[in-house]
Amino acid sequence: MRVNPSQIRAQQFGRIAHGGDAALRLDLACLQIGRIIEPKLNALAALIRLQELADEVHTQHGGRSDPAERVDALCEVLFQRHRLRGDTDTYYEPANCCLHRTLQSEQGMPITLAVIMLEVGRRAGIPLQGVGAPFHFLVKFEDARGEHYLDPFHAGRAVDRDQLAARLRQTNPAAGPSAEAFLSAVTKRQILQRILTNLKGACIRKRQFAEALETTEYLLALTPWALEERRDRGLLQFELGALPQALQDLELYQQHADNPRDANRVAAILQRVRDQLAGPQEPPASL
């Protein structure tokens, strides 16, 4: 039986993303995600580029020990010298979700620009953390004065923590009086999940259902128990005409999802799948 290349890539991604956060190579996992839209991408070229940028940062900060000065050097190289920037014209392009494309074009989404900051910083000995704020992915670092937040989409500019917390409380009432949960560092797996969710949405928006389906396979490699991803895989398989596979996923979702809001929609699509699998019905014989 011929194995689907997209399933092989998803399995490879699952192996890369497996294990504890300390051992997970964010750069390699992100480059594997890039194979969804460019299966033959040159991962080595992207890794070399990250190291070249890190070497520039190391030369720029000259071994300074102050964390803020080292981060300033990082931002100088990435955003002033190389002019990495947020893509405001084609924000929802699938390419903006891919590390290698962002390195090539020097523009992208907040989270892919953040990954460049994190990975170049790691190579240059500058510890940074990702912050999964609901409206905009950020990067933070710590020094003796506390935590400092940076916006990679806007050239790494500083974001005032109190203003950020106030905005979070205003736009997310669930944050309550403290927005600490929204300002804490996220894991690498959470970063990967957010990138993949963005990519799936971008592909669906452009009706690139095959790429959206592969992205969903990657998400299931991260969280095999996620019923919503099983549902989405079934819906995408239905769009692509893979009816037996769609039937399996949608039935599983219908059986195990706890009173979902989309129960009627899923039931209607399931009936269409069953009808198409059954084929045209023979008219009854006349007497």
**DSSP track, 90-154:** STT-GGGG-HHHHHHHSEE-HHHHHHHHHHHHHHTT---EEE--SSS-EEEEEETTEEEEEEGGG
Any idea what the CATH number is for the domain that residue 34 is in?
Answer: 3.10.620
**For 135-164, how does the pLDDT look when each residue is reduced to its tens digit (9 = 90+)?**
789 999 999 899 999 999 999 999 988 888
Closest among 99, 101, 134 to 117, alpha carbons compared:
99
Residues 236 and 156 in one domain: no
**For 96-134, how does the pLDDT look when each residue is reduced to its tens digit (9 = 90+)?**
999 999 999 999 999 999 999 999 999 999 999 999 887
Does residue 220 sit within a domain?
no
Does residue 87 sit within a domain?
yes
> Rounded to whole angstroms, how far apart are CA atoms 11 and 57?
35
Does residue 168 sit within a domain?
yes
For the chain, percent of residues with pLDDT exceeding 90: 79
**For 242-287, how does the pLDDT look when each residue is reduced to its tens digit (9 = 90+)?**
999 999 999 999 999 999 999 999 999 999 999 999 987 666 555 4
- Would you place residue 213 in the very low, low, confident or very high pLDDT band (cuts 50, 70, 90)? very high
Residues 11 and 149 in one domain: yes
Residues 56 and 161 in one domain: yes
pLDDT computed for residue 179 by the predictor? 65
pLDDT computed for residue 31 by the predictor? 98
Residue 265 CA to chain centroid, in angstroms? 27
- Where is 267: in which H helix or E strand? helix 263-278
Q: What residue type is assigned to position 94 of the chain?
A: P
Does residue 208 sit within a domain?
no
Final residue before a domain boundary, out of 151, 167, 183: 183
Residues 259 and 177 in one domain: no
Final residue before a domain boundary, out of 159, 183, 207: 183
282 DSSP 8-state letter: P
**For 172-197, how does the pLDDT look when each residue is reduced to its tens digit (9 = 90+)?**
666 555 667 778 899 999 999 999 99
Residues 169 and 244 in one domain: no
Final residue before a domain boundary, out of 149, 183, 217: 183
Does residue 163 sit within a domain?
yes
Residues 178 and 236 in one domain: no
Contact 46, 103 (CB under 8 A): yes
pLDDT computed for residue 178 by the predictor? 60
The pTM (predicted TM-score) of the whole model is: 0.92
Strand 129-131 versus strand 85-86 pairing type:
unpaired
Does residue 197 sit within a domain?
no
| For residue 1, pLDDT beyond 80 | no
Residue 262, SS3 per DSSP: coil
Backbone torsions φ then ψ of 159, nearest 5 degrees: -120, 125
pLDDT computed for residue 62 by the predictor? 79
Lowest mean pLDDT among 82-86, 164-168, 274-278: 164-168
- Would you place residue 38 in the very low, low, confident or very high pLDDT band (cuts 50, 70, 90)? very high
> Rounded to whole angstroms, how far apart are CA atoms 212 and 4?
15
Q: What share of the chain is helix, strand, coil (3-state, %, to 5)?
A: 60, 10, 30
Residues 71 and 163 in one domain: yes
Residues 60 and 117 in one domain: yes
Contact 6, 32 (CB under 8 A): no
Residues 81 and 14 in one domain: yes
Residues 177 and 237 in one domain: no
Can you give the length of the chain in residues?
A: 287
pLDDT computed for residue 61 by the predictor? 83
pLDDT computed for residue 277 by the predictor? 95
Does residue 174 sit within a domain?
yes
Contact 246, 214 (CB under 8 A): no
Average predicted confidence (pLDDT) for the chain? 92
* Residue numbers of the domain that contains 168: 5-183
Could you tell me the two tokens for 249? 């996923």
Does residue 190 sit within a domain?
no
Residue 232: CB atoms within 10 Å? 21
Q: Per the structure, how many domains does the chain have? A: 2
Residues 125 and 31 in one domain: yes
Residues 151 and 255 in one domain: no
